[in-house]
């Protein structure tokens, strides 16, 4: 079958001060009619540039320096602007990452979709309105007419993305290009969008190019996947094969850098990459991955490899045969952790109520942490995870009682504040931009140990070395560091206080998989040295299952389940935990999650707060507060359903 | 452009009085109300004093007046705004309502009012102008403080158990400086004009000082006989005002990371 989209040896460069950045180098990519192809790469790999290049919607300093983009046999590189305009939206449509910026905040959603329909299909206003309602219904929006009357800020992120997708579908395109369409969404919402894309694709037979940094997401939707690294396609093939038998060292390492709860033998360990990604102003002459590749030989650095292999599965790697099997450079020995019995932190009936909000952000949370334990706290955005952490530190006003080693945290002496430290989500935000790194890192020593002068700078240098940053970084300002480097400084600052407990609030969100792996490895290493307890807050259940000893699941301010973390989590689950688990994309070949549909009732405000969406809602019992069902000493579930029923659910993975 | 004007201003502050061809207070009775000539480049006034020398001689006091008043007002306003924004709650409410009350009085009228109470003179003039500059500065400082206060590095400092003074001075203050410095450079122009106006009204510098505002005030009655009496110092004030405004704009662009590149 002739492909609908065929990119041949496409090269693209940006003119920047100091030369030309080759953002794309000889990229080959094809999408057959009715096919879903995934394009996976880290930030800066050129994947978004490729998406924009397909429609020649490029920045002023970008230049296509070679190659062809054949769409239905027509070369888009040489097509006239008028021709491109005719294709955009009608034959090729795009959906971008952030639905909140893709919509005009001043127009009602209905008008925005209707306008696209009028433009593409030449409908009159009344017909367009009817067509809009139809289209939104196709996007599985429960009440299309009501949604049409709303403004973007009045609907949820998932609903917005469905509206954006409706606009993309308005022209009935033959090819849909999606650039990280679910990255800004919660896991359950993202899962719903993925299901929708699959349905739409199956029904309309269009082709989809799905671009993402997340191999797990791509594995859920794409039949074939291309992996892009530093502007070159390093591997392409059927998803199963690429995940199961990677033929490029980069792909193999990328897979091993993802937290994967199914790889129980590699628990708490992730592969990380040596060195930084290549400078695209002066790319390495040979294989662009060679400088970081553990298997690189002299020939790799000398000459760029071509994509080779059989017609289906090809890779640009000289060591393709060994890529799937070589022993991973995992950190050894395995860090010693695990819970001890001594109780460290105890939170009793902690509630946080913000002004002008009826529902408490955190409602009567009780949680204990043992010395040296890693407790994962999961939940979707807005579930109150961060508020709870801030309450533990006393950064937010709360009711209830938080004690550390038997003493209320609020009454800790200044020197004892060292015992509880926090690492924040955004590395840009957690370091003062006007302070040099050395100064930021010196604070705990000045504050808790009274160090100064040479002893202080020795301590700072020692910690920079421990988090593998050059000593010269002490004289830099935060904006001169990358996101991963900043996060390491923040981690060093927290651990330098020699704390008993570190609260980690989504500390790897927004970081690339390889950077995340390095940060998490560092975290476990530091934790093992002092047997520090960790509260690992994340929306990423894979990560938490990979690293935590126990998992606490939060939903809308309440703790709904507390369970031990191990491998393929067996039932019983709280129905919400079940939904979360099924929504997590896991990059494991041959494994598919059971699809779980959420109910579409309005969110409950009393009784069980999950009742509105709960797929297992038994009956009106749920209007009352659910009881706690005790499974074992370390596992309880807050649900109206009896334990036998909760335990009888089928496995999530099959 | 702004930098060029400011370079000239700096030279005037340092060397102004020394550059003057004549003593600014020396009378030349034979040459009263002269137009520009080779002997007197800008002409002379009603006492035959050389106008160029007087403009140059007045540069230092006039410009330093503006800079000092602005610096004083900015520091005061920034401190008030910082405390108000950081404290929040009832303290913030009280301070900000007071600041708004002060803001509702036209600034020049306010300065005149202060000088009427304190009495005229250069030092009191500086104080009066500084007091009128402080309230708008306090508002800006408070606004920026509110956004900086909620950033994670401040939370991190509080969580570490840092002293409040450290959090205020080392974590928050450096991060509100940029917008304040920009605003201050623009306010310098205003302060110079306010100072000139006060001198014009007889409340600032006193004769025979060669302050620009005072020069224009003294020239008012003789303006018809020799317009050059007003043009010289007038141009001086305009040039300095424009210079600081342009400099402020450039500084804002340079300090704004989103516009940088």
Can you tell me the ipTM of this complex? Answer: 0.80
Cis status of the peptide bond prior to A46, with omega within 30 of 0: no
CB A628 within 8 A of CB A569: no
Q: Both A517 and A400 in a single domain?
A: yes
Q: Do A432 and B158 touch (CB under 8 A)?
A: no
What residue of A is the nearest CA neighbor of B153? A430
All residues of chain B having their beta carbon less than 8 Å from the beta carbon of residue A390 are 155
Tell me the nearest-neighbour CA distance from A57 into chain B, angstroms.
22
- Residue B260 in this model has a pLDDT that exceeds 60: no
Host domain of residue A44 = 1-91+176-186+207-332
Last residue of a domain, one of A553, A587, A605: A553
All residues of chain A having their beta carbon less than 8 Å from the beta carbon of residue B257 are 479
Residues of B with CB under 8 A from a CB of A: 151-153, 155-162, 170-171, 174-175, 177, 257
| pLDDT-based confidence at residue A422 (cuts at 50, 70, 90) | very high
Q: Do B159 and A425 touch (CB under 8 A)?
A: no
Which of B151, B158, B162 is closest, CB to CB, to A395? B158
| pLDDT-based confidence at residue B118 (cuts at 50, 70, 90) | confident
All residues of chain A having their beta carbon less than 8 Å from the beta carbon of residue B155 are 390, 395, 422, 424
Mean of all residue pLDDT scores within chain A: 88
Q: Both A377 and A507 in a single domain?
A: yes
A286 domain residue, yes or no: yes
Q: What are the tens digits of pLDDT across the range A183-213?
A: 878 888 888 889 899 889 988 889 999 999 9
All residues of chain B having their beta carbon less than 8 Å from the beta carbon of residue A479 are 257
Beta sheet of A343-352, edge-to-edge order: A362-370, A343-352, A399-404, A407-408
Q: What average pLDDT does the segment A76-82 reach?
A: 91
- Residue A333 in this model has a pLDDT that exceeds 50: no
Tell me the nearest-neighbour CA distance from A24 into chain B, angstroms.
23
Q: Do A432 and B161 touch (CB under 8 A)?
A: no
Q: Do A421 and B162 touch (CB under 8 A)?
A: no
pLDDT of residue B187: 85
What residue of A is the nearest CA neighbor of B171? A432
Q: What are the tens digits of pLDDT across the range A141-164?
A: 888 899 999 999 888 888 899 999
pTM of this structure: 0.83
pLDDT of residue A388: 94
Q: What average pLDDT does the segment A93-102 reach?
A: 86
Tell me the nearest-neighbour CA distance from B261 into chain A, angstroms.
10
Worst-scoring range by mean pLDDT, A208-212, A447-451, A504-508, B49-53? B49-53
Q: What average pLDDT does the segment A167-190 reach?
A: 89
What CATH number has the domain spanning B2-21+36-255? 1.10.3720.10
Worst-scoring range by mean pLDDT, A217-231, A340-354, A426-440, B45-59? B45-59
Q: What are the tens digits of pLDDT across the range A30-41?
A: 999 999 999 999
| pLDDT-based confidence at residue A313 (cuts at 50, 70, 90) | very high
| pLDDT-based confidence at residue B116 (cuts at 50, 70, 90) | confident
Q: Do A424 and B155 touch (CB under 8 A)?
A: yes
All residues of chain B having their beta carbon less than 8 Å from the beta carbon of residue A422 are 155-156, 159
Cα–Cα–Cα angle for A339, A342, A343, rounded to 5 degrees: 95
What residue of B is the nearest CA neighbor of A431? B153
Q: Do A443 and B171 touch (CB under 8 A)?
A: no
Last residue of a domain, one of A332, A365, A396: A332
Q: Both A281 and A361 in a single domain?
A: no
Q: What are the tens digits of pLDDT across the range B213-248?
A: 777 777 777 777 777 777 877 887 787 778 887 887
CB count in 10 Å sphere of residue B260: 8
A442 domain residue, yes or no: no
Q: What average pLDDT does the segment A30-59 reach?
A: 91
Q: Both A500 and A590 in a single domain?
A: no
Higher pLDDT, A470 or B182: A470
- Residue A569 in this model has a pLDDT that exceeds 80: no
Q: Both A498 and A538 in a single domain?
A: yes
CA dist A589 → A237, A566, A585, B11 (Å)? 13, 20, 11, 75
- Residue B258 in this model has a pLDDT that exceeds 50: no
CB A551 within 8 A of CB A581: no
Q: Both A548 and A604 in a single domain?
A: no
- Residue B19 in this model has a pLDDT that exceeds 60: yes
Q: Do A417 and B174 touch (CB under 8 A)?
A: no
A521 domain residue, yes or no: yes
Q: Do A390 and B155 touch (CB under 8 A)?
A: yes
Q: Do A430 and B161 touch (CB under 8 A)?
A: no
Cα–Cα–Cα angle for B126, B129, B133, rounded to 5 degrees: 130
Q: Which of A649, A643, A633, A618 is nearest to A562 (CA)?
A: A633
Q: Both A217 and A365 in a single domain?
A: no
Q: What average pLDDT does the segment A577-593 reach?
A: 84
Higher pLDDT, A622 or B211: A622
- Residue A654 in this model has a pLDDT that exceeds 80: no
Q: Both A532 and A576 in a single domain?
A: no
Question: Residue ranges of the alpha helices (H) in A47-102?
Answer: 47-54, 81-87, 99-102
Q: What average pLDDT does the segment A488-508 reach?
A: 93
A349 domain residue, yes or no: yes
Domain count, chain A: 3
pLDDT of residue B224: 73
Q: Both A372 and A289 in a single domain?
A: no
Both tokens of residue A479? 């904006």
Higher pLDDT, B200 or A215: A215
Q: Do B151 and A479 touch (CB under 8 A)?
A: no
Q: Both A291 and A262 in a single domain?
A: yes
A466 domain residue, yes or no: no
The 8-class DSSP code of residue A223 comes to S
Q: What average pLDDT does the segment A46-65 reach?
A: 90
Which of A395, A420, A432 is closest, CB to CB, to B153? A432
Mutate to test the interface with A, among B151, B152, B167, B178 (most CBs of A within 10 A): B152
Q: Do A432 and B175 touch (CB under 8 A)?
A: yes
Last residue of a domain, one of A288, A305, A332: A332
pLDDT of residue B33: 67
- Residue A399 in this model has a pLDDT that exceeds 90: yes
All residues of chain B having their beta carbon less than 8 Å from the beta carbon of residue A435 are 170, 174
Q: Do A432 and B160 touch (CB under 8 A)?
A: no
């Amino acid at each position: 079958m002739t492909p609908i989209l065929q990119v041949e040896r496409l090269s693209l460069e940006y003119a920047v001060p100091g030369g030309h950045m080759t953002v794309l180098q000889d990229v080959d990519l094809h999408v057959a009619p009715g096919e879903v192809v995934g394009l996976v790469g880290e930030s800066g790999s050129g994947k978004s540039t490729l998406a924009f290049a397909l429609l020649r919607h490029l920045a002023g300093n970008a230049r296509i320096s070679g190659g062809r983009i054949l769409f239905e046999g027509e070369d888009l590189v040489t097509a006239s602007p008028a021709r491109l305009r005719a294709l955009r939206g009608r034959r090729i449509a795009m959906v971008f990452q952030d639905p909140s910026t893709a919509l005009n905040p001043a127009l009602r959603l209905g008008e925005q979709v209707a306008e696209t329909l009028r433009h593409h299909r030449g409908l009159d206003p009344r017909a367009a309105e009817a067509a809009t309602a139809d289209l939104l219904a196709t996007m599985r929006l429960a009440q299309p007419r009501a949604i049409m009357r709303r403004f973007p800020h009045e609907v949820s992120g998932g609903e917005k993305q469905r509206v954006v997708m409706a606009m993309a579908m308005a022209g009935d395109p033959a090819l849909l290009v999606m650039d990280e369409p679910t990255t800004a969404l919660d896991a359950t919402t993202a899962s719903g969008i993925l299901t929708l894309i699959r349905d739409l694709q199956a029904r309309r037979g269009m082709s989809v190019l799905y671009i993402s940094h997340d191999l797990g997401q791509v594995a859920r939707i794409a039949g074939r996947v291309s992996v892009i690294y530093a502007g070159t396609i390093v591997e392409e093939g059927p998803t199963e094969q690429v995940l199961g038998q990677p033929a490029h060292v980069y792909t193999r390492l990328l897979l091993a850098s993802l937290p994967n709860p199914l790889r129980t033998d590699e628990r708490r360990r992730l592969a990380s990459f040596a060195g930084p990604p290549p400078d695209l102003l002066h790319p390495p002459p040979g294989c662009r991955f060679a400088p970081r590749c553990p298997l690189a030989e002299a020939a790799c650095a000398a000459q760029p490899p071509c994509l080779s292999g059989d017609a289906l599965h090809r890779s640009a790697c000289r060591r393709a045969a060994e890529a799937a099997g070589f022993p991973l450079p995992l950190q050894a020995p395995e860090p010693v952790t695990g819970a001890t019995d001594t109780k460290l932190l105890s939170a009793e009936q902690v509630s946080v109520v913000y002004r002008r909000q009826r529902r408490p952000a955190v409602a009567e949370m009780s949680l204990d942490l043992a010395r040296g334990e890693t407790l994962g706290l999961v939940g979707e955005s807005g579930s109150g995870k961060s508020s709870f952490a801030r309450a533990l530190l006393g950064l937010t006003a709360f009711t209830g009682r938080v004690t550390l080693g038997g003493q209320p945290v609020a009454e800790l002496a200044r020197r004892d504040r060292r015992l509880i430290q926090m690492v924040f989500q955004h590395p840009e935000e957690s370091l003062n931009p006007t302070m040099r790194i050395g100064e930021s890192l010196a604070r705990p020593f000045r504050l808790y140990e009274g160090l100064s002068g040479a002893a202080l700078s020795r301590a700072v240098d020692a910690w920079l070395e421990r988090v593998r940053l050059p000593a010269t970084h002490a004289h830099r300002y935060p904006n001169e560091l990358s996101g991963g480097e900043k996060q390491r400084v923040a981690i060093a600052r927290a651990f330098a206080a020699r704390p008993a407990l570190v609260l980690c609030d989504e500390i790897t969100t927004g970081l690339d998989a390889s950077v995340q792996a390095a940060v998490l490895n560092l975290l476990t290493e530091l934790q093992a040295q002092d047997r520090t307890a960790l509260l690992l807050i994340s929306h990423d259940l894979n990560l938490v299952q990979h690293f935590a000893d126990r998992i606490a699941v939060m939903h809308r301010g309440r703790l709904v389940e507390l369970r031990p973390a191990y491998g393929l989590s067996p039932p019983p689950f709280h129905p919400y935990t079940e939904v979360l688990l099924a929504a997590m994309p896991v990059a494991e070949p041959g494994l598919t999650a059971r699809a779980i549909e959420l109910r579409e009732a309005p969110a409950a405000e009393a009784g069980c707060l999950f009742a509105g969406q709960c797929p297992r809602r038994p009956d009106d019992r749920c209007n009352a507060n659910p009881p706690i069902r005790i499974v074992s000493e370390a596992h309880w579930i807050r649900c109206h359903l009896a334990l036998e029923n909760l335990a009888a659910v089928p496995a999530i993975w099959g | 452009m702004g930098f060029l004007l400011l370079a000239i201003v700096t030279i005037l502050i340092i060397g102004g009085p020394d550059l003057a061809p004549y003593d600014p207070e020396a009378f030349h009775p034979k040459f009263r109300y002269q137009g520009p000539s080779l002997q007197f480049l800008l002409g002379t006034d009603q006492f035959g004093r050389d106008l160029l020398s007087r403009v140059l001689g007045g540069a230092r006091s006039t410009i330093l007046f503006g800079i000092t008043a602005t610096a004083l007002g900015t520091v005061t306003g920034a401190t008030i705004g910082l405390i108000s924004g950081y404290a929040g709650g009832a303290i913030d409410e009280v301070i900000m309502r007071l600041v708004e009350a002060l803001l509702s009085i036209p600034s020049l009228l306010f300065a005149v009012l202060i000088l009427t109470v304190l009495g005229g003179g250069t030092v009191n003039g500086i104080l009066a102008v500084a007091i009128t500059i402080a309230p708008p500065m306090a508002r800006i400082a408070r606004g920026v403080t509110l956004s900086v206060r909620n950033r994670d590095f401040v939370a991190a400092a509080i969580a570490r158990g840092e002293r409040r003074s450290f959090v205020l001075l080392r974590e928050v203050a450096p991060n509100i400086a940029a917008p304040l410095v920009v605003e201050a450079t623009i306010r310098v122009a205003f302060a110079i004009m306010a100072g000139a106006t006060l001198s014009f009204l007889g409340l600032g510098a006193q004769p025979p000082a060669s302050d620009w505002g005072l020069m224009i005030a003294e020239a008012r009655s003789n303006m018809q006989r020799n317009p050059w009496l007003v043009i010289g110092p007038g141009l001086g004030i305009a040039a300095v005002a424009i210079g600081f405004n342009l400099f402020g704009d450039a500084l804002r662009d340079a300090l704004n990371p989103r516009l940088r590149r």
